[in-house]
Amino acid sequence: MKIIIDDKIPYMQEALREIAVEAIYKKGADICASDVRDADALIVRTRTRCDERLLAGSTVKFIATATIGYDHLDTAYLDKAGIAWTNCPGCNASSVAQYVRSVLLLLAEEQGLNLSEATLGVVGCGHVGSLVCKVGSELGMRVLVCDPPLGNPGFVSLAEIEQQADVITFHVPMEQGGSYPTWHIADDGFFGRLRRRPFIINSSRGGVVDEQALHCALDNGTVSQAIIDTWEGEPAIDRALLNKVYIGTPHIAGYSADGKANATNMSVQALCRHFGIKTPEPIDPPSLPASFVYTGNPLELYNPHDDSLRLKSNPDAFEHLRGDYPLRREHIYAQTPHQCAE
């Protein structure tokens, strides 16, 4: 069996060591039709657009994307072509929640946000958003949740979040059509309706926030600050906006070693199920070095300022900073428990 794999998916060689496959590793953005023509499967990330242009005439039978989002997969074409596909729902949800927790702690320490008196507006309450709600509650915040597709009577409208939230964080998939589009959900109208000069956090998809509208909102003080992890036009991001935001990171909110290992394990497990192969033992992410000192402050485990400084110092290195991301753990473990979801 021949598999084409994005070479930046971590721990993949270790995960496949017990499986007799021909594995070819390539930069995700460079995977082309000639690469996949005689392949049986692909394991990709968001940088590989899987559509008719890539796959027509190929022998590909299965695609796994080692990500929660799958808007880079043309699922209508895949279904029509009889190519099975899977994503990794929830694989890095706790990693993104760690990112948001760290941001909230920094807003409290550096921006004067009183968490116990602040309202957190969470837009999107799936795997990630539900954990972010828990983070807000644990920090003593009032939490408002907007997710119309779920139809939960305890949730609120986006208009209520616009009126009441001191921090608004987005955790929605990218949908450009349908009943609940999320493309530019934070547009000029959204920013114009804000009442409390909130802090804006986007760690979902770049197009969820209209970046030109965010420019104006920052310039006119409609929002207090912005924290942006996902950008329009990645990796060629808006450098002027990067310089304006409080924290700007290279799409790494979900890049803890724990989340990466989950995604790799889930992708390999799905591959094995599809082809009837015995599933290997799941891999564990590496431990933090013995020299690491932790006194109980979550910012010791992860401080987004570090990633922001690296990106602002060298915006051209966006892809490099993602691909060669340093070791980050969500917890201190003597031995990491498996967190792989089905």
Catalytic-role residue among 45, 47, 184, 251: 251
Q: Answer whether 84's CB lies under 8 Å from 110's CB.
A: no
Catalytic (active site) residue 319: no
> 251 an active-site residue?
yes
205 is catalytic: yes
- Both ends of the chain: CA-CA distance in Å? 24
* Nearest to 337, CA basis, from 113, 138, 141, 94: 94
**Active-site choice (14, 175, 234, 319):** 234
Which residue out of 127, 205, 322, 329 is catalytically annotated? 205
Catalytic residues: 205, 234, 251
